Amino acid sequence: MNNYNKKHIGKHALSPESMMLHYGYDPKLSQGAVKCPQFQTSTFVFDSAAQGKDFFNYASGRVEVPAGVEPGLIYSRFNNPVLEILEGRMALWDDAEDCLVTASGMAAISTTVLALSKPGDVVIYAEPIYGGTDTLLNTVLSQYNLHAVGFNSSAGDKGLAVAIAEAKKLGPISLVLMETPDNPTNQMIDIAACKALLEAVDQPEGEKPVLVVDNTMYGPIFQQPLSLGADLCIYSLTKYVGGHSDILGGSCSGSKALISKIRGFRNILGTNMDPNTAWLVMRSLETLKIRMQASADGAEKVVEFLLQHPLVEKIYYPGLLREGDPQYATFKKQCSGCSSTFSFTIQGAEKEAFKVLDAMQMAMLAVSLGGTETLVQHPASMTHSSVPEARRQEIGITDNLIRISVGLENPADIIADLAQALDTISK
């Protein structure tokens, strides 16, 4: 094996965080540069016309790539050295056979749904789910005769069972898409139990629904959905993986068969990531574990403060689950810890929530999560505003709900900021 593709030193298996600095890159191919250069090019030169023909046949899937043969570079909408290295490293985190990267998290979700669905199919989804995903499923794709059936995350696999029965009345189920924990209420869903339900679904031609988990909130450090039974693992790389609030990106990991099918759609739709963004994401992968752990440690301290505050009604943070809670066993089975994004409700409604948000002096009032800075926002009027009000109430996105993504600031400073902001409610 080439030294730059090493996964072991002798019998010792290398950790993902170590391989993020080396895997897939050969300095000899880039003048000995320690870091992979940016291959800022739209197209690549062929050695011969015959080679160009072969490369296009491989890329299109018309011809299987022979063993030991590199499929070759064609055009940066199809492949690029930086994208290929990044995809290899993301696959390592997810312990996946293959991975593809896209221009945004929504590009990953929409390309996956389109690649695996056809008109008349049904997509089942757990809610709450990211507002953009909700709009895609219930507004955009409905124009193309794709049906969407939702179930409440808090109902877990029992809710999925009901949704399956409803969906089968409408057509074949192409996939089930869910976040666990969900955004923004951190409800947990048992991935293995959901997969077992889908394996029992009887459909024409014997095709089983594909289980897709959006792992943006907890992955890849605190949860690995593929090891728990999911078929595909999706990220908004914009969030924790990118980690600096300066790029947009997405990814999808899974089996070679599924990823090849989705990659074909990505290449035609043009939802691929650009090389410069891929280079920035690779930079971020090197510090991903320490950033997520540091922000998670800070979030624990913030939660401890909020637990004692008289104006805080409820905190949606899985680390507070205890034995006897229906979701406790799922959390302990699936997660190795909590990420730094959670939500809490305060006494009052939208007026009081806005008052707190407007009073923050250090935390930034902005959507997104997982950056180095602390971000706060109001899901009901911002990220999930496209969800009808009645459904928002049903799935826990109330007017007094605030979401916070704890960054890398000193936790004592974040607590001081929250304390003075919460004090404004009673003034």
pLDDT cut 70: percent of the chain above it: 99
Q: Say whether both 135 and 251 belong to one domain.
A: yes
Question: If phi over 0 gives left and psi between -120 and 50 gives alpha, with beta otherwise, what is residue 38?
Answer: beta
Tell me the pLDDT tens digit for each residue of 194-234.
Answer: 999 999 999 888 889 999 999 999 999 999 999 999 999 99
- By the 8 A CB rule, do 225 and 179 touch? no
Q: What is the CATH number of the domain that holds 254?
A: 3.40.640.10
Predicted pLDDT of residue 2? 56
Question: What is the number of other CB atoms lying within 10 angstroms of the CB of residue 220?
Answer: 25
Residues 219 and 301 in one domain: no
Q: What is the pLDDT of residues 48-65, one digit of tens each?
A: 999 999 999 988 878 888
* Domain boundary pick from 215, 247, 273: 273
* In a shared domain, residues 158 and 260: yes
**Amino acid occupying residue 365:** L
Same domain for 232 and 301, yes or no, is no
**For residues 22-30, average pLDDT:** 83
In a domain, 52, yes or no: no
Domain endpoint, select from 230, 245, 273: 273
Residues 354 and 257 in one domain: no
For the stretch 234-255, pLDDT in tens is: 999 999 999 999 999 999 999 9
Q: Do 297 and 321 share a domain, yes or no?
A: yes
Domain shared by 295 and 164, yes or no = no
Which of these three, 206, 238, 273, is where a domain ends? Answer: 273
The answer as to whether 388 is a domain residue is yes
The tens digit of pLDDT for each residue in 322-346 reads 998 889 999 999 999 999 999 999 9
Residue 368, domain member (yes or no): yes
What's the pLDDT score for residue 173? 97
Do residue 302 and residue 165 come from a single domain?
A: no
Domain assignment present for residue 70? The answer is no
Hey, which bits of 292-411 come out as E strands?
Answer: 312-316, 341-346, 364-365, 375-377, 401-405
> Does 68 map to a domain?
no
Q: Could you tell me if 310 and 374 lie in one domain?
A: yes
Could you tell me the end-to-end alpha-carbon distance of the chain, in angstroms, rounded to an integer? 67
Q: For 272-349, where are the E strands, in sequence order?
A: 312-316, 341-346
> 17 in a domain, yes or no?
no
- Which range marks the domain in which residue 396 is found? 289-426
Question: For residue 7, which of 88, 86, 80 has the smallest C-alpha distance?
Answer: 88
Residue 89 lies in a domain: no
pLDDT reported for residue 175:
97
What domain count does the chain have? 2
Same-domain pairing of 320 and 385? yes
Task: Share the mean pLDDT of the chain.
Answer: 93
| Mean pLDDT lowest among 105-109, 117-121, 131-135 | 131-135
Phi, psi (deg, nearest 5) at residue 243: 70, 0
Going by DSSP bridges, is the β-strand pair 122-127/173-179 parallel, antiparallel, or unpaired? Answer: parallel
* 216 and 146 in a common domain: yes
Give pLDDT tens digits for 386-412: 888 998 988 889 999 999 999 999 999
What integer pLDDT is reported at residue 1 of this predicted model?
A: 43
Separation of alpha carbons 190 and 178, rounded Å: 11
Asked if 191 and 296 sit in the same domain, the reply is: no
Overall average pLDDT of the 149-166 stretch: 95
4 inside domain: no
Provide the CATH number for the domain around residue 371.
3.90.1150.10
Q: Virtual CA dihedral for 82, 86, 89, 95, nearest 10 degrees?
A: -140
